[in-house]
Amino acid sequence: MSQPLLSVTGLGVQFGTFAALQDVSFDLADGETMGLVGESGSGKSTLARAILRLVPATRGRLLWRGEDLLSCGARALRQRRRDLQIVFQDPMASLNPRMRVGETLAEPLKIFEAGLTSAARATRIARMLERVGLSPEMARRYPHEFSGGQCQRIGIARAMMLRPKLLVCDEPVSSLDVSIQGQIVNLLLDLQREFGTAMIFISHNLAVVRHLSHRVLVMYRGRLVEVASRDALFGAPAHPYTRALLAAVPDPTRAFAGRALTTGEAAPAAGRTPPALGGCAFHDRCPYAQPVCLDTVPTLQEVEAEHIVACHRWREVVYS
């Protein structure tokens, strides 16, 4: 098999005494879209920022084409930045209000392609604006003159100016109107096909994740609990938490093997405290929980090819 574009092994992030990420491992191939789902506070954005080294990792390895980004010096990391870009959740807050759009899009070119003439930069900017569905004349405007959807297109254009190998999308459509979300999602798909960019796509919207992703990672309390292809995860989820997430989506046509959790089953039991670090993070909400779930952290086990789950009782979940 070819070397992964990105290989994350045992990644952990600690904020004081709080473990925001614990032992996260996965591989990402060239051109692949990895969906990342989980409730608020599960560590999705922390994982994305740790991969980009926007927050410090306390343990683990982060191999970018075989090179460990966690051991890179400042100069080497700066050179890798052109291949590692991010689209933020709030398009208005992610753009400098004092810079015209053209200046914003010119900035990465000035840093990484300093030999370009001003005319060449202007041509690149105009082409990218057209590519994301905006007029080249808009380069002279400021961010406050645009709608939220247009600002997100500008943010995507800025991220794609250097044709990065990896684009991290941190809930890029959650703050947009529903009528605009589909346009942005389709734009990201078109750009990925055109440039061959790999994506990590974070979202609470499972329908969008299903539409975009090749594989899906499910996180809960800073840990990976399930990793599977899109069809396997949505068709036959093996972790009780994944089933709870899917059961929470109003969809009368959905069907998958096994018994789904009801709302009552997914709710935390009264008086139960969060699990200790030595046990399964989901045990206090899980109808399948046994004493072993409280005492022992489940390891990732193979359900089938390219489908792994961290659950002591996944067989009962799948075959019940």
Of residues 108 and 317, more confidence is placed in 108
Please state, in angstroms and as integers, the Cα–Cα distance from residue 27 to each residue in 97, 213, 227, 257, 306, following that order: 37, 14, 11, 27, 11
233-274 residue pLDDT tens: 999 999 999 999 998 877 555 555 444 444 334 434 333 344
Helix (H) / strand (E) element for 78: namely helix 74-80
In CATH, which of 3.40.50.300, 3.40.50.460, 2.40.50.180, 3.40.50.10470 is domain 6-213?
Answer: 3.40.50.300
The predicted structure's pLDDT at residue 243: 93
Which helix or strand (DSSP H or E) is residue 69 part of? Answer: none
Domain residue spans of the chain: 6-213, 235-319
Q: How is residue 238 written in tokens? A: 């093996």
pLDDT band at 220 (very low <50, low <70, confident <90, very high): very high
Going by pLDDT thresholds of 50, 70 and 90, the confidence category of residue 277 is: low
| Greater pLDDT, 38 or 251 | 38
Question: In this predicted structure, what is the pLDDT of residue 3?
Answer: 85
What are the tens digits of pLDDT across the range 113-154?
A: 999 999 999 999 999 999 999 999 999 999 999 999 999 999
Is the pLDDT confidence value at 57 over 50?
A: yes
More confident residue, 12 or 266: 12
Confidence of residue 175 (pLDDT cuts 50, 70, 90): confident
Helices (H), 113-257: 118-131, 148-160, 178-195, 206-212, 230-235, 240-247
Of 181-195, 226-240, 261-275, the poorest mean pLDDT is in: 261-275
C-alpha to C-alpha distance for 38 and 98, rounded to whole angstroms: 35
Orientation angle between helical segments 118-131 and 101-112, nearest 10 degrees: 120
The predicted pLDDT at position 136 comes to 96
Helix (H) or strand (E) holding 34: strand 33-37
Q: Rounded CA gap, 278 and 25, in Å?
A: 18
Predicted confidence at residue 197, as pLDDT, reads 96
The pair of structure tokens assigned to 197 is: 């960019």
Element spanning 92, H or E: none
DSSP string over 263-305: HHHHSPPTTPPPPPTTS-TTGGG-TT--HHHHHSPPPEEEEET
For range 180-197, the mean pLDDT: 92
Percent of the chain with pLDDT over 70: 91
Beta bridge partners of 262: none
* CB-CB neighbours of 132 under 10 Å: 20
Statement: residue 156 has pLDDT above 60:
yes
* pLDDT score of 203 more than 90: yes
User: CA distances (Å), 228 to each of 39, 239, 305, 316, in order?
Assistant: 18, 11, 9, 18
The predicted pLDDT at position 105 comes to 97
Burial class (CB in 10 A: 0-12, 13-18, 19+), 237: buried
The model's pLDDT over 62-108, given as tens digits with 9 standing for 90+, comes to 999 989 999 988 889 998 999 999 999 888 889 999 999 999 999 99
Residue-level pLDDT at 275: 42
Residue 158 has pLDDT above 60, yes or no: yes
Mean model confidence pLDDT for the chain = 89
The candidate with the shortest Cα–Cα distance to 247, out of 269, 273, 274, 265, is 265
For residue 229, is pLDDT > 60? Answer: yes
pLDDT of residue 252: 55
Backbone angles phi, psi at 265, to 5 degrees: -70, -35
